[in-house]
Structure 1
């Protein structure tokens, strides 16, 4: 029987691995905990970029060229808002806006964000459990040489140009974990961390009280996939953010950011020379091609990662 798999994921890299796992796993055996700290209100609507990227990817509706949003979009609503003098730097397509209208309506009715996310996923034919780490407000704030910015302001409006000084997860200490996320971690046979940005995609999930502790005490093998290839990211600012947070921009830096949380790390074949240093830190290491440009590559990496994770064993699990 396929093991029960729980994946922590955010951003495009997380969505790609989620697709790969979804292609080879029965939906009832896969749970995905997504990042909600990028959420922000635009034009009176609640937008959840990472959750929507996961959802649209799993539904095969994603705009493959840009990696986010819906394929075949038009932007007539945004053009109309621009004519009215609104700031439209956050590009929202017309079909995408329908998702945000639906989400915002239900939030105003008091429906749990977790239930809304699952409802949207199910309406698009997704059987996999798409979970939120918290239903409470949580937002990544980035201190730059231009001052404090919400993550979308830094990432989209400023195009990651300002130098990052500090990252803060506003609302994290007051947030409560969702029971669904805790259950998915506690009942998992394998715990995976996607090749997402460790600083702004995975760390916000771990910042929710109870999430990190649940992973630490789990006896399931815990494996992360590095988002770096040759010391660089495929897309996004993970390399610069690791450096800004005091980690080396390398697979050893990625491993350090997950210290105490992982038993194994998957790295790209081009970085095979990192194996010795990683194993010296007590990690089990697998090298393979981690670049995912099509569904076949996503499924292949997912299958290899599951085989590697199944072979990893926690010391606690063996004693």
Structure 2
């Protein structure tokens, strides 16, 4: 079976580790592919930085900083301090020395004309990840945030301002010229199950779906599409997704996020949606909108709970497939 996950960032990394653990425990040989958001990518000190990809890469490799939730473990930041002193990097965006090795390698390959998909392959070959990562697109589509103080790159709004500046909207540069990567299109067409990770709906899942042709690829996919809510009992599990949702007029609730994605039968992307037990009241209303919802424990606290959430998502997908 081929399991495809769409998402990015820490929430996606934790979820994919749960999928991998579930596959390991089941003793199956299921393939896991991840279509990764590239809208968070940007240029710093002449280096191409890919936060969502690297969070997945490091977490799956077991070399991530579990305390911070991002970056490499046992990290130092001497080079980053020097870059800030030279004025070539913002002092609010620290890059670890080990992390810089990844960015330098990525940038060197890109400047040699290597595609981002091939860069993903080369970086992923270093460790046994148990999953294959694919960029949503090989083109640069940096996310820009419109605020009362002007347009900011998403990273400045998110990291420097901690999403405190009210956002008026989000857009991706050059999105009209982008297209899904060949790897993303291939695994979506071959998938047996497609899972939307509990990632930020606006800036992690949203840029993936905004790539021209991506929604159509999901619409053509024979596999059921099941999402996992990153909102529990009216609060975001991690990060500042509530600020993003408010900017696009979506309530911070599991039900509202599912309705934002929409049912595939009505031109959206979801066949099913997992909500936490605290949000079981959303199940019936979502079913009325054509989204098969199920309430289960969703907190990804450890390997056991994460594997169970993956199991529940796959079980819902299987039930949806059997009813078709």
Structure-1-length-normalised TM-score: 0.94
* Distance across 1 between alignment mates of 2:311 and 2:30: 17
Would you say 1:313 and 2:321 are equivalent positions? yes
Contact 1:55 1:121 in 2 (8 A): yes
TM-superposed deviation, 1:11: 1.6
Contact 1:28 1:128 in 2 (8 A): no
Deviations 1:120-139 (A, max 9, x none): 11112224210011111111
Deviations 1:206-232 (A, max 9, x none): 111111101012221110001101111
Would you say 1:182 and 2:180 are equivalent positions? no
Match in the other structure for 2:286? 278
Contact 2:236 2:252 in 1 (8 A): no
SS in 2 for 1:123: coil
SS in 1 for 2:275: strand
* Distance across 1 between alignment mates of 2:150 and 2:99: 30
TM-superposed deviation, 1:265: 0.4
CA-atom RMSD in angstroms: 1.5
Match in the other structure for 1:249? 252
Match in the other structure for 1:7? 5
TM-superposed deviation, 1:82: 3.0
* Distance across 2 between alignment mates of 1:280 and 1:163: 34
Would you say 1:109 and 2:117 are equivalent positions? no
Bigger Cα displacement from structure 2, 93-102 vs 170-179: 170-179
Gaps of 5+ in 1: none
Bigger Cα displacement from structure 2, 240-249 vs 214-223: 240-249
Aligned length: 314
* Distance across 1 between alignment mates of 2:200 and 2:87: 34
Would you say 1:35 and 2:37 are equivalent positions? yes
Match in the other structure for 2:82? 80
TM-superposed deviation, 1:187: 0.8
Gaps of 5+ in 2: 263-267
How is 1:153-168 mapped onto 2 (pairs within 5 angstroms)?
Answer: 153-168=156-171
Contact 1:231 1:239 in 2 (8 A): no
Match in the other structure for 1:267? 275
TM-superposed deviation, 1:28: 6.0
Contact 1:197 1:227 in 2 (8 A): yes
1:292 to 282, 297, 300: 300
2:230 to 218, 224, 227: 227
Would you say 1:49 and 2:57 are equivalent positions? no
Structure-2-length-normalised TM-score: 0.93
Deviations 1:28-64 (A, max 9, x none): 6111000111101111111000000011111111111
* Distance across 2 between alignment mates of 1:118 and 1:297: 29
TM-superposed deviation, 1:295: 2.0
Match in the other structure for 2:265? none
Contact 1:263 1:313 in 2 (8 A): no
* Distance across 1 between alignment mates of 2:104 and 2:82: 17
After superposition, the Cα gap between the structure-2 partners of 1:314 and 1:242, relative to the gap in structure 1 and judged at 3 Å, is farther
Contact 1:27 1:128 in 2 (8 A): no
Structure 1 residue runs of 4 or more that deviate by more than 3 Å after TM superposition: none
SS in 1 for 2:176: coil
Would you say 1:213 and 2:225 are equivalent positions? no
Contact 2:32 2:130 in 1 (8 A): no
Match in the other structure for 2:22? 24
